Structure 1
Amino acid sequence: MTTDTHSTSTSRLRHDPLVRGLGWASALLGVPQVAAPAAFARALGVGDSPRHRVATTAVGVRELTAATGLLGRPRPVWLWSRVGGDLMDLAALTRALKNHDGRGVGRTVAATAAVTAITATDVYAAVTRTHRSAPVELTATTTVNESPDEVHSLWSDLERLPDFMAHLDEVRVTGPRTSHWRASAPFGKTVEWDAEITQDVPGQLIAWRSVDGADVDNSGEVRFEPAPGDRGTEIRVTLRYDLPGGPLGKAAARYFGEEPHQQLDDDLRRFKQIAETGEVVRSEGAPGGKRARGEFPQHPARPLTEGELKEALA
Structure 2
Amino acid sequence: MIDFRYHLVSIIAVFLALALGLVVGASALRGPLVDQLKDNSNRLKNSNEVLRKEKDAAAQVRDYGSQVTDAVAGQVVAGRLKDQSVVFVEAPGADDQMRAQTADMVQKAGARISGYVTLQSKYLDPNQQATLNELTDQLKPAGLNFPADASSYDRTASELASVLVTKQAARSGQEDPAAGQVLSGFKEAGFLTFSGQPATRATLAIVIAPAAASNDKNADAQNKALGALPTALYTYGGGVVAVGDPDSATQGGLIKALRDDDDADGHVSTVDTADVPAGRLTAVLALVAAKQGKAGDYGIGSKVDGPLPTPVPTPTPTMTKTKK
Q: TM-score, normalised by structure 1?
A: 0.22
Which of the pair is proportionally richer in strand? Answer: 1
Which of 1 and 2 has greater Rg?
Answer: 2
User: Which structure has more RCO (C-alpha within 8 Å, separation ≥ 6)?
Assistant: 2
